[in-house]
Amino acid sequence: MHYIFNKGQKNKPIFLLLHGTGADERDLLPLAKMLDDSFGVLSVRGNVTENGMNRYFKRLGFGQYDLEDLKYRGQELLDFITKISETEGFELKDLIPVGFSNGSNIAIHLLLREDVDIKQSILFAPLYPVDVTDNSKDMSDVKVLLSMGDNDPMVSPEDNKYVEQIFTSRGADVTKINVHGHEITTDAVTFARKWLLNN
């Protein structure tokens, strides 16, 4: 997989940057700098292409995930970041996933795995129309910041509520900021930076 790694300052967390559809591993680097430029960065390009655009997993149509591919690509991503952690000398619990859109969605898939011990995550414009009733992971030690659009043309208010419930129903500490659309706003980044400082 294509990636960029920068370890950052000693004993600091590492942002796992997960881009949106059509972007690449360079897209969220400025965001990481704005959030905390002392943190490390592991930015990974999605391994799937849809009409020439990078993604992390296939979909059958808009809002219809290819669940078999989601499972396969989720494992592929986990194997990859595990390998990088061993090579670069950090632990998976040192990672803070920061995702936008499709990147947020694969981050949710990772966070729901029992074998993933990640404590914090920042998710911009997430969407996860997947039945997770058979998942009972305890997230009582997990903190999640969700940036959601009140008028997001791709994510309905019901979809936003569902994503929030995925985390709250498993005991996660969820903080929300509402923006207008399917976007990363300056206000949301400022809010996320303060949220990181308080955690």
Known active-site residue 101? yes
Cβ–Cβ under 8 Å, residues 162 and 81: no
Residue 39: what residue type?
F
Q: What is the four-CA torsion angle of 39, 91, 175, 133, rounded to 10 degrees?
A: 150
Cβ–Cβ under 8 Å, residues 24 and 45: yes
Query: Residue 132, exposed/middle/buried by CB under 10 A (0-12, 13-18, 19+)?
Result: middle
Active-site residue among 36, 94, 101, 121? Answer: 101
Active-site residue among 36, 43, 121, 182? Answer: 182
Active-site residue among 27, 36, 94, 152? Answer: 152
Residue with tokens 């989601």: 70
Structure tokens at 60: 């059958």
Rounded distance between C-alpha atoms, residue 144 and residue 40, angstroms: 19
Rounded distance between C-alpha atoms, residue 43 and residue 25, angstroms: 5
Rounded distance between C-alpha atoms, residue 66 and residue 56, angstroms: 11
Q: Which residues are the active-site residues?
A: 101, 152, 182
